[in-house]
Structures are given as structure tokens and as C-alpha cells.
Amino acid sequence: MYNDTELKQLLSEELKSRNLFLVNLKISPSNKILILVDSLAGVTIDQCVGISRFVESNLDREKEDYELEVSSPGLDEPLKIKVQYEKNIGRELQIVTNDDVEYKGRLIAVENEAIRIETVNKVKKSGSKKKSIEKEEHIIDFINIKLAKVVITFR
């Protein structure tokens, strides 16, 4: 069975030369290899095909059979690495922290070890009939993020 360390090493320079980055690499016990790649400009089918052909040309099916899938992460996939957050600055995210606190807000910055999001809350102030909008900024450390997804909106 192939291991992820040698495959990551194999992919490293090739992805860099194509301006792509590795989001996730999974190898199942049945030797199904799933490679998720992305870039700041998005990923084309041709880029996925190119990576697939590169991997196939460097692995020996005679030595060990495998199934290979190369794809970009779908819209429903959680964010896994820092570059994905940087790519999504300005977009709305749903964040769940390790202590199960949920935030839904606009990603405004990515820092060394954390992200900053801005949430919007409607608050009814005493003596007023209307609710006012309050914006609040939250800093969330990467190590405290259990789940982060881009909120998909159709406008």
C-alpha cells in the first residue's frame, strides 16, 4: 500500500510548478487514493487530469494496484488549510469551534495563527421599537476551529 508521506513528497514540486496546493490526501485501506488540490484562481478539469497523469506515470501498477481520484474540494467541503481561508477573505463562513460555539460571519482577515470574522446581530435596544444592527469582530485561533465552511448564497 502506498503511504501519504511519499505521495505528498511526489506531489510537492509538481503542484508548485502548476500554481496549485494540496488540500487533502487520503489513502483508503483498499488503496483508493484521493487527492484534493486547489489554487487561488480555482482549479480546472485539465489541471486535475494533468495531476492524475503525473501521479500515474510515477506509480507502478504492476507493483501495486490502486484507484486514483484527483479533484478540487467541492463547495460543501470544509476548509482545511490556511491558504483556503486566504482565498475566501470577504466571503461568509460558518465556523464551529472545539467547544461547540458557532459563528456565522464574513471572513475579514487571516493572520499567522488565527482568522478574524465579523458577525452581524440585530439587537433590540431598550426604549426603541426597531432593532439595530451591531457588528462584532471575533478572532478565532486555527487550533480552536473544529469546522469551517463557506456559506453558499444564491442572490
Instruction: Identify the burial level of 115 via C-beta atoms within 10 angstroms of its C-beta, where 0-12 means exposed, 13-18 middle and 19 or more buried.
Output: buried
Q: What is the pLDDT along the chain (155 residues), one digit of tens a residue?
A: 778 899 999 999 999 999 999 999 999 999 999 999 999 888 999 999 999 999 999 998 888 899 999 999 988 889 999 999 999 999 999 999 999 999 999 999 999 999 999 999 888 777 777 888 889 999 999 999 999 999 988 77
Stated pTM of the model: 0.82
β-strand 92-97 against 145-150: which pairing, if any?
antiparallel
Neighbours of 6 (CB within 10 A): 11
- The strands making up 67-71's β-sheet, listed across from edge to edge, are 21-27, 32-38, 67-71
Q: Domains plus CATH for the chain?
A: 4-71 (3.30.300), 82-150 (2.30.30.100)
